[in-house]
Structure 1
Amino acid sequence: MNLYSTTLLTLSIALSVSFSYAQQGTVTINKSSELDALLLIKKEMSVSNNDSDRYKIQIYSGDRAGADDAIKHFKVFYPNWNVIDLYDPNNYKVWVGDFRNRLEVDRALIKIKEEFRDAFRLKPKNKEKK
């Protein structure tokens, strides 16, 4: 009797385990059309160059020809980064990136300094008069 009950118990456990893994699941994702519009607005706000709370990295300061060379050289290594060519009286500056916080800009600066040793972090001041 003991052998019969042990065999029956083992068989019932084996069958219940085999059926428990036979479950199929489906996932349905319902996405609002407003979500796409909000994500697009957020993306446009994130890449705005008028935001004075963003950090930049200056890779060059000097004459126009040098600024053009710096931009071409930078785009070889970082083709997806935004580059700003800025004329300050008697000087051309090349700024790259648009970083939200100091940690992001410092991480990028470490990589950029491998090619541009004179690069440094800056946070542009808002030029608008209040």
Structure 2
Amino acid sequence: MNIKKKIVWSALLSFTLTLVLNAQQGKVVVTQNSDIDTLLKYKKDLKTSKTYTIQVYNSTDPDKAKREKENFLNIYNDWDVEIVWNTPNYKVWVGNFATRLEADRAWAKIRKKYMNANVIQPRLDD
């Protein structure tokens, strides 16, 4: 009978302790200089020889290229769009992607409306 009392008291004590004990809870606060976001944006916009872009339009008429740029921005406003003049054509280029994978993901979305869009790796003449 003495052993049964010890078992019952042990069980009661362990049950009570499990109700009373709590895990530790913490809060992590990250403070970051706002200049870091600005630097990351500039870094993303930098053009290096290893960036990819998507060409969505090509024309010899600059007005048509401007119109197509505006049409693109009305549909998609996730990426930067620029008109590049390469004699004699005006090309509408979208984005500045660091990897081919990023460019292909954007291209998959863009090609629904622009079937002739191509991922290119522009050569920069310095």
Range into which the TM-score falls when normalised by the shorter chain: 0.7 to 0.9
1:53 partner letter: K
TM-score computed with the length of structure 1 as normaliser: 0.81
The gaps in structure 2 that reach 5 residues or longer are none
TM-score computed with the length of structure 2 as normaliser: 0.83
Q: 2-side partners of 1:83 and 1:42: how far apart?
A: 19
Deviation at 1:52, TM superposition (A): 2.5
Q: 2-side partners of 1:74 and 1:38: how far apart?
A: 30
* 1:20-31 matches, cutoff 5 A: 20-21=21-22, 23=23, 25-27=25-27, 29=29, 31=31
CA RMSD of aligned residues (A): 2.1
Q: Do structure 1's residue 58 and structure 2's residue 58 form an aligned pair?
A: no
Deviation at 1:123, TM superposition (A): 0.9
- Aligned length, in residue pairs: 124
2:49 partner letter: S
Deviation at 1:98, TM superposition (A): 0.8
Identity of aligned residues (%): 26
What are the superposed Cα offsets for residues 11-62 of structure 1, whole Å, 9 maximum, x if unpaired? 11111111222x5534354646xx54344323312212x3222100000001
Q: 1:98 maps to what in 2?
A: 96
1:106 partner letter: D
Question: Structure 1 residues 30, 94: CA separation in 2 closer, same or farther (over 3 Å shift)?
Answer: closer
Q: 2-side partners of 1:46 and 1:100: how far apart?
A: 8
Q: 2-side partners of 1:53 and 1:109: how far apart?
A: 17
Q: 2-side partners of 1:20 and 1:52: how far apart?
A: 59
